[in-house]
Structure formats: C-alpha cells, structure tokens
Amino acid sequence: EGIHQNEAALTLLHDVLSSRRHRTWSPAYEQIMIAYLDLCLKLHKAREAKDGLHQYRNLAQSQAPGSLEKVIRYLLEKAEDKCSKAKAAADAAGADDAPSSITNILSIDGQDDDGIGPQAILLSSMSTDPAKNQ
C-alpha cells in the first residue's frame, strides 16, 4: 500500500526534478512530475507545485514541449476537479449556512504555508446563491 511518508517523497521527487545531473528529458520524468503534482495536491503545497513546474519546464521545454503541455493539463484537470467537488459540497450544505460551511470546508481541506491555499481563494470568491454569481 505504501509507507505513508509523503513529505519525504515530495522532497525526494523535487530533488530528482531539480538535479543538475539529469538534464536530458526522458518519459520517466513525466511520470515523476505527475506523481509529484499528486503529492503537492494531497499535501496542499502550492508553492512546491509551482517550483516543480518551473524545474520541469526547464527540463522539458526544448526537448519535449508536448510532455510539458500534458503535465500542465493534468494539473488543471485535477484542480478543476477539486474545485467542483468543493463547490458541490458547499451547495449541498445549503444557502442558509453557506458562510459557515465554506469555512468548515476550508478548515478541513487544509491551508498552504502562508495560511491561504488556492482552494480558499477560489471558494471565497464563489457564492452558493446563483443570483449573486452574476
């Protein structure tokens, strides 16, 4: 099942991506980057995900731009999925207690190092009332 050392795995994958020793792109790096992004999303590490994307861009930009596009699209798909799930949870909580339910979702979902994660920013801009969204 795994050894459940997510922080150590994230550090190790970041070291692999940023290593100056391996500067030639290979398909294995795409799989490493996808695993890295999954860990970043699981641990709510937006800054680490951004830094990993920069490292991967430097690695893949000239040799495999299609792979870079695939990784970015993967991240966008996962982020949109998380956002739609959070919105569905907020809608299910009802319009009566919408502010408190959004706060509960944010406290359960976790926060980034600076206290405000990407989900918090997106959820704070959403409203459960369709009339307010326009």
Q: What is the pLDDT of residues 79-98, one digit of tens each?
A: 899 889 989 988 888 754 54
Check residue 69 and give its pLDDT. Answer: 93
**Cβ neighbours for 89, distance < 8 A, ≥ 6 positions apart:** 101, 105
Check residue 12 and give its pLDDT. Answer: 87
Query: Nearest to residue 53, comparing CAs of 85, 78, 81?
Result: 78
> E strands within the chain?
none
Residues of the chain with pLDDT under 70: 1-2, 22, 95-134
Check residue 66 and give its pLDDT. Answer: 93
Tell the residue number behind the tokens 């600076």, with chain if given.
Answer: 114
Query: Nearest to residue 42, comparing CAs of 117, 125, 101, 126?
Result: 117
